[in-house]
Amino acid sequence: MAPASTLLRAAAPAPHAHTSFPSHHTPTSSSNRTTITNTNPSANSTSSTPLHRIQTIAKHMALPQTTSFPAEVVPQAPEDPLFGLARAFKADPSPQKVDLGIGAYRDENAKPWVLPVVKKADEIIRNDPEANHEYLPIAGLASLTSKAAELVVGASAPAIAEGRVASIQTISGTGACHLGGLFLSRFYNPYGDASKKPTVYLSNPTWANHNQIFSNVGLPIAQYPYFDQKTKGLDIDGMKKALSDAPERSIILLHACAHNPTGVDPTLAQWREIAEIMAAKGHFPFFDTAYQGFASGDLDRDASAIRLFVELGFELVVAQSFAKNFGLYGQRAGCFHFISAPSPDAASITTRVASQLTLLQRSEISNPPIYGAKVASIVLNDPALFAEWKENLRTMSGRIIDMRKALRAKLEELGTPGPWNHITDQIGMFSFTGLNEKQVAKLREEFHIYMTKNGRISMAGLNTKNVEYVARAVDKVVREVQ
């Protein structure tokens, strides 16, 4: 007998028997209805039951067991490296294991930390008799997006007062990058030829997800030099040359602060040099800000690059995440901002862009999620809670800075072949250690220390209980493995 799935398919009409006018659309009128009487005395026998007839037909109509998605069309995708690393760490039974891979804050006991101010916002939501789970508007929670824009450009910025900022709530920073890429792919046509898409230039290295986010919306990608392997700092000359050589009006993806994965940021003077080249070439800035306040502990300092470009009159976009600085990783709260350049038509341009962003959002997610947005909104709109949030940010950034100092000090005390000053020169959650792939593998195999293959470590995974263990392991591996 054919498989059950085949029987179900066989029960449907054959393709040539399909009609556009089935009976429920064109019922027969009672005056013209013809009654057919079956006079066969064996009509009620077992051999004539509907199931028997279907089984008989199925024997003659069995379709081949095939798929429209063979392996050469849909190959097995590789596991995401970061989530694969997390899975391997979780499965490791060693009591000494250390997770330096995950991009999430951990406290002194290597546990997730719910910010105290977030707990207070949670309590406010739970005790609100008007709280509900209704849909948000397509553009999101207005009390969040308005304050999020102020956080990025400054509450007193002319761009806010002049109506030059369009903001829309997104699925964290990833969703903001995607929405921005989708908008630019659809509407940014700098060469007057819709078939010629502008290239998005990404730093080398960058957050791995940037590559597929922009590729998936049909934008070609290229790289500009960023990390200097010798100094473990910024390759400012290589970066400037690449931006100068890039085709005019290219899209340049810039990390606003706490560059992921290197932890290397340009100085404000270097940002001015970058801005000067981009203005001369007519490049379009696309800022990704995932660590505002988390990097230095100062919200304004961490927004200084974006604010500089806005003050210089650039038209630009910003993808903003509240995952790291609020600890709202799983709540997926973020915003996308379009900021128009100063002009008589700026407000009109911003309104039109906002309308198209809303249209794109409608077909993508319809409405953004509400809970994380409410948490962030409550904090951003309450002066006392906002002040407490800034203190929470200083707690997180301060602990990470302390761990940078401790790791560097221990490595230098051990005389580990270095130098190691880049550990404290870099900023934010991540550090590019300079360890190579073989050394990373050895650390995992022998010491159960987990980090990405390129030697990037999450400083949040270090604490006073494991930093010496990690330093001694690195010292041993650096001496033994080249």
For residues 390 and 197, what is the distance between their CA atoms, to the nearest angstrom?
A: 41
Quick check: bond before 205 cis, omega within 30? Answer: yes
The active-site residue out of 147, 324, 374, 442 is 324
How many angstroms separate the CA atoms of 454 and 100, rounded?
12
**288 carries an active-site annotation:** yes
- Which alpha helices (H) appear in 208-345, and where do they start and end? 208-215, 236-245, 268-281, 299-302, 304-311, 323-326
Count of residues making up the chain: 482
Active-site residue 99, yes or no? no
List C-alpha distances in Å: 177 to 182, 303, 349. 9, 17, 21
Which class for 165: exposed (0-12), middle (13-18), buried (19 or more C-beta within 10 A)? buried
* Spatial separation of the C-alpha atoms in residues 13 and 49, rounded to whole Å: 18
Q: Rounded to whole angstroms, how far apart are CA atoms 224 and 283?
A: 13
> Which of 288, 302, 389, 410 is labelled catalytic?
288
Q: Which amino acid is at 18?
A: H
208, amino acid identity: A
Out of 207, 271, 389, 420, the active site residue is 207
What span, in angstroms and rounded, lies between the C-alpha atoms of 444 and 403? Answer: 20
Contact 269, 302 (CB under 8 A): no
Per-residue CA distances from 437 to 231, 434, 444, 481, 482 (Å) = 19, 10, 11, 10, 10
Residue 46 makes CB contacts below 8 A (sequence gap 6+) with 52
Q: What is the dihedral of CA 426, 431, 437, 443, to 10 degrees?
A: 130
The dihedral formed by the CA atoms of 157, 158, 164 and 165, expressed in degrees to the nearest 10? 10
User: Closest Cα partner for 459 from 325, 295, 305?
Assistant: 295
CB 393 within 8 A of CB 258: no
Cis peptide before 81 (omega within 30 of 0): no
Find the helix packing angle between 304-311 and 142-153, rounded to 10°. Answer: 80
Catalytic site includes residue 324? yes
Catalytic residues: 207, 288, 324
